[in-house]
Amino acid sequence: MTFTTRERAQGWLSDELRLIEYSEWTPPAERRRRTEQRAITFDEFTREWIDKRLVRGRPLKDRSKEHYLDIHERWFAPFHDLPLTAITTADVERWFHSRPDAPTMRTHAYSLLKAIFRTAVARKLVKESPVNVEGATSRAVPKEINLLTVAQVQELADAMRPQHRLMVLLAAWCSLRFGELTGLRRRDIHLSDDLTEGTITVEQAAVTVAGERLLTTPKSLAGHRTIYLPPHLLEDVRQHLATYTRSDPDALVFPGTDGRPLTPGQVYGHAPRFDKKGNQKHPGNGFYKARHQIGRPDFRFHDLRHFAATMAAISGATTKELMQFAGHSDIQVAMRYQEAVNDRKKDLAKRMAALAVVVEPHTDS
C-alpha cells in the first residue's frame, strides 16, 4: 500500500492504531470485502445466481432460467433493492405470509429463495440464511387423480385429431411427457421389420422459452431413456409414421403447422362453448373437446403419465423400473404409485370378502 503524501500515510496509520486499541482491527482487505458485500443488492446477486447456477454439474436449462427469472421479478420484488446482508428472518416471514393465496407457487418461490441464500451462506456473503419460515416447505399432499379406464383412454385417443391420436396412446402407455412427445424425431422410433417389437429413445424435448418453441435435452438426466413399445401400439405407430411423418430421420413425429414442434395450444384446442341456456355454441376442438366427449372435462393431458405409471405398477414394476420407465429422478414419486396400487389391492380384497357368502353347516334336526 502506497500513499501520495506523508500526512495521508500518518492519518491511515492513526486510524489503524485506533482500531487496534478498541479491539476492532481486521485486515484492510477483509474490510474492503465486507464493504463490497454490503453493497450487493438481492436483485444483483439473484440474477447472477440464476445465470451461473449449476445442477449436478450442468447449467440451468433455458426454460428453468426463464421460470426462475419470472419468479424473481413477480414474487421477490420486495427484496430487489435491499442489500443481501440486510434481509432478515422477519423480512422473509412478512414476505411469505403476504404472498397471494397460491400454495403451490408460494412454496416453489420459497424453495427458490432458500436455495439462493444457501449459496450466499456458502460464499460467506451472509453469516446465516434468513429463510427459515416454519412449515413453509412441508410436502403437499398429492392431488387425488381419478384415472381413466383402459377403454376411456382408447376413446380419448379416437376423439383426437387423427394426427394427434398417437400422442394420447404414447403418453398413456409409455409415460411420455408433452415436451418429450413433441420433441420426438423419426429416428427416435425403431420398429422391427416383422413388427413384433419396437422402442422409443428419448433424447430431446420441446420447450417454450420467451414465446419461442425450442428443442433441448430432456428435463433431467433420468429423462434420457429407451422405452419398449407395448405390442398393441406397434401398428398404430407404423401407420402414424407412414401417414403424418416425413421420411427424413430428423423429421418430427408430431410436427406443428409451421414445421416446428407442436405448441400446447395446437394440441389442447379449446372446450365446447355453451350459452346461458345450455345450448352448444361451438363444438370445441383438440384435446379439450376430446375429454369433454368422454365425459371427463376435468382430465389433464399430463394425467396420462399417471395412468401409465399406475399401469406399470399394477403390472409389477419395481421402484427402480418405474423411475426408469417414467424418467423420474425422485424415488418418492415412483413409490407413490406403488403405494396407490397396494391401497387398491387392499380395497379389492375387502370387496371380494363382502361378496363371500357364509354357508351355515347343515345339521340334522
* DSSP state letter for 193: T
CB-based contact 194:206 (threshold 8 Å):
no
29-56 b/e (C-beta count within 10 Å ≥ 16 → b): eeeeeeeebeeeebbebbbebbeebeee
Rounded to an integer, what distance in angstroms lies between the CA atom of residue 240 and that of residue 263? 19
Cβ atoms of 96 and 106 closer than 8 Å: yes
Is 328 annotated in the active site? yes
Q: Which of 72, 213, 225, 328 is catalytic?
A: 328
| 177 belongs to the catalytic site | yes
To the query of whether residue 337 is one of the catalytic residues in this protein, the response is: yes
- From the list 97, 123, 232, 302, the catalytic residue is 302
Give me the DSSP letters along 206-257. EEEETTEEEEE--SSGGG-EEEEPPGGGHHHHHHHHHHHS-SSTTSBSSB-T
The catalytically annotated residue of 305, 336, 344, 351 is 305
Q: Residue 74 burial (CB < 10 Å; 0-12/13-18/19+)?
A: exposed
Positions of E strands within 19-154: 54-55, 58-59
Catalytic-role residue among 72, 165, 177, 336? 177
DSSP one-letter code for 99: S
| CA-wise closest residue to 219 among 299, 154, 284, 305 | 305
**124 touches 83 (CB < 8 A):** no
Positions of E strands within the chain: 54-55, 58-59, 189-191, 198-202, 205-209, 212-216, 225-228, 273-274, 280-282
- Residue for grid cell 363382502: 354
Widest Cα–Cα separation across the chain? 127
Task: Give the separation between CA 131 and CA 109, rounded to whole angstroms.
Answer: 11
Q: Is 302 one of the catalytic residues? A: yes
Catalytic residue, chosen from 110, 268, 288, 337, is 337
Catalytic residues: 177, 302, 305, 328, 337
